[in-house]
Amino acid sequence: MSSAMLPLCNPGVATQIIVNHAFRIATLSMNRRPEHEPPVESESLTPEVREVPNPPVSQDTPTPSVSVTQDRPKPSYVLLGIVSTVALALDLGTKWWALHTLEKPLAHGEGIPAPIQINSWLTFVLARNRGGAWGLLQTANEEIRKPFFLVISLVAIGFIVYLFRRVHPKQHALKWGLPLVLGGAIGNLVDRIRYGWVIDFIDYRASWVRWLNERIASLSPTHGITDHWPTFNIADVAICVGVGLMAIDMFTSRAHHHRRDTTKVVSLQPEQGSAVEPNSPAASSNPPPSDPTSSGLAGQSKV
């Protein structure tokens, strides 16, 4: 796991990103205008047209079209089910392997650790995490800790399913991020229901982790200094990647909507003094009002 993913694995940051997405999607769904909504005509842009008997009909005159507002397509739950199932299967499969490989069983319960060192910075070692992310509620009472995490997990799963239904089809990052978060949340929920704790087995260490812990220890003297990242599993990886995709979508979608709103304002407010071409449809269909005296003289000259 790289240092760029560090803020995304923080539970507070992940929760804030998900809440911001829910609020933004709900606001856009209430205030969204239809994509084919005709532009609003201003009185200053539409001069009064005098009725002329038997006006000539030009072939180049555009006929007004009636825009039909269609409901935007919604993402299919098939994608949500496939991606979340793949993430869940990888998580449960690797946890089963870690539980039966990284520990030698004993007759009275927990066995002897049998870690597998891959290289100098990655080791597979079995760990039982009774708390949440970053050791949250690790030492809390079981009667408080287990119901708390069960309720939080169920609420998060239901919220993700609801939020996925309201995702716009062009929000590709969010469309893939939500299923990854869902698969990881279900994976850790299965462990809490089955064992009462979560199986972690990926132990990562690096010099930048020690540097980070030193900075934290300077603010909190009780914080331990180590070069080991908190042990994690595949579910945690899926959640971090999913939250990262949600963060990308949050910033890119905000910039896209800002550019689109700016374009609408500019198109509805043309510059003053802009001339209309004489051969354009606007000039032929909406002629400017003429002075009564000059029109009378023009009629006499034609006669």
Residues acting as catalytic residues: 200, 236
Residue 120's Cβ-count burial label (10 Å; 0-12, 13-18, 19+) is exposed
Pairwise CA distance, residues 168 & 175, whole Å:
8
How distant is the alpha carbon of residue 129 from its chain centre?
29
Pairwise CA distance, residues 112 & 29, whole Å:
55
